[in-house]
Amino acid sequence: MTTSVPHLTELPLERPKGCPFDPPAELGTLRDEHPLARLTFPNGHEGWLATGHAIVRAVLADPRFSSRQELMQTPLPGAAAMMEMPPAAPGLFIKMDDPEHGRYRKLLTGKFTVRRMRLLSERIEQVTTEHLDAMERQGTTADLVTAFAQPIPALMICELLGVPYEDHEFFRRNVMPLNRPDASAEEQGAAINTLGEYLYKLILAKRADPTDDILGELTTTELTDEELTSIAFLLLGAGLDTTANMLALGTFALLQNPDQLAALREDPELVEGAIEELLRYLTITHTGVRTALEDVEIGGQLVKAGEAVALSAQAANRDPLKFPEPDRLDVRRNAAGHGAFGHGVHQCLGQQLARVQMKVAFSGLLARFPKLRLAVPADEIPMRTDSDIYGVYALPVAWG
Amino acid sequence: MDRERCVGAGMCVLTAPEVFEQDEEDGRVRLLDPEPAGIGDAVQSCPAAAITANG
């Protein structure tokens, strides 16, 4: 039976004042009463908003809900929300359903296994140590984002893929507008073209002279140059602007929760669980979307074919039905089942890389700087409120 | 275990490393222990519902 539910005219985006780690308060209120509600999307589409852990997970696991780009409605305001999207370009598998999605994903999964990612630990430790050494050499304060959080994952993804690290600033400049809804359509289009051209040339070079890295290996598969360019684009984009935000925002969250930081310092064995908890608590990729391919009865409602469901991962990860005292950061909590990497067949391909990098980088940072602290008042930290991926733009820290 | 459904996320290996591994080539799930017990968490963790526990 379908009961009446609230109808939001826009997605709540404003986080509570003074609580930079908490989702917008309206999302929590909504979730506890109506985990599936109506939502008007920025382009006027009448869709839905899922905020409960169970319902978000159910939608993501259900093949009747599609990821296809041409069916997509964008819940976050901005240029992309107003555009009619064509079907995904060949290789852009995150915007496809199975079996097309699966065909691409199966070529990649062997390259991102738990075992292969753990084998990188030693190299990540080396890179982390180099960056910590450089921070110490230059004084007793630094911006943790530029000195640590950004370069470590950037270097690792470049090495893994076989992309020259010297060009990482160029990539970052062109990836950033894609995660910022307020960037214009022209700005985003130009960034996509610039990156695409660069990566296409790189793929051609690797095809002529195969290298011992992921992109080099992929040139020996059935993938075309166009498909490989899209895949390189996805992997590079995902590697540059995700773990970096977790490292910086995660450090900020630990510094603002001194009891949790102390617990982690006292027992470094807690780090793996603490990372899962930070992933849950911070949920930097905060909002997703799927479109119903047919009429689906779910959560006591009828979602009609063609209607989009916005999925609030951040609200779901603070659902008290799943996580007791959800608004508390608790590094000893069992945070398993959090949806920070998504759920369903599209769940993050690079999640094991992210975990290994965070384990090494957080452990290294805390061990090196026992007196690590913010160098400015917390309310002066510039938050990425304008991005699809949450984080901080800078994190001035001191350690002397 | 349905290797066709598997998306190689690695959650089962992370959750129950004594029971599951990922194929070196295609990253998809393989069983290390033919008669595993107590894999409820791994079943739950699988994003693609590729693992089911019988009895």
Task: Judge whether B23 is closer than 8 Å to chain A, CB to CB.
Answer: yes
Using CB atoms and an 8 Å cut-off, which of residues 230-289 of chain A contact chain B? none
CB A291 within 8 A of CB A73: yes
- The pTM of this model reads 0.96
Using CB atoms and an 8 Å cut-off, which of residues 116-175 of chain A contact chain B? none
Question: Which one of A111, A113, A345 has the shortest CB-CB distance to B48?
Answer: A345
Task: Judge whether A336 is closer than 8 Å to chain B, CB to CB.
Answer: yes
Q: How far is A114 from chain B (nearest CA, A)?
A: 6
Give buried/exposed letters for A201-234 (b at 16+ CB in 10 A, else e): ebbeebeeeeeebbbbbbbeeebeeebbbbbbbb
Count chain A–chain B contacts defined by CB atoms under 8 A: 74
For residue B26, the chain A residue with the least C-alpha distance is A110
pLDDT over 70 for what percent of chain A? 99
Residue A106 CB partners (closer than 8 Å, separation 6+): B8, B26, B28
Task: Give the closest residue to A167 by CA, choosing from A194, A207, A135.
Answer: A194
> Would the CB atoms of B10 and A112 count as touching at under 8 Å?
yes
Summarised one tens digit per residue, pLDDT across range A249-288 is 999 999 999 999 999 999 999 999 999 999 999 999 999 9
Task: Judge whether A334 is closer than 8 Å to chain B, CB to CB.
Answer: no
DSSP 8-state secondary structure symbol assigned to residue A379: G
Task: Give the closest residue to A298 by CA, choosing from A39, A27, A56.
Answer: A56
Q: What is the mean pLDDT of residues A58-66?
A: 98
Side-by-side strand order, sheet with A308-312: A7-8, A36-40, A46-50, A308-312, A287-292, A65-66
Summarised one tens digit per residue, pLDDT across range A314-360 is 999 999 999 999 999 999 999 999 999 999 999 999 999 999 999 99
List of chain B residues whose C-beta atoms are within 8 Å of the C-beta of residue A115: 13, 21-22, 24
List of chain A residues whose C-beta atoms are within 8 Å of the C-beta of residue B9: 109, 341, 347-349, 351
Residue A311 φ then ψ, to 5°? -115, 110
Written as tens digits, the pLDDT of chain B (55 aa) is 899 999 999 999 999 999 999 998 899 999 999 888 889 999 999 999 999 987 5
CB A253 within 8 A of CB A278: yes
> Would the CB atoms of A352 and B10 count as touching at under 8 Å?
yes
List of chain B residues whose C-beta atoms are within 8 Å of the C-beta of residue A345: 7, 47-48
Strands A373-374 and A65-66: unpaired
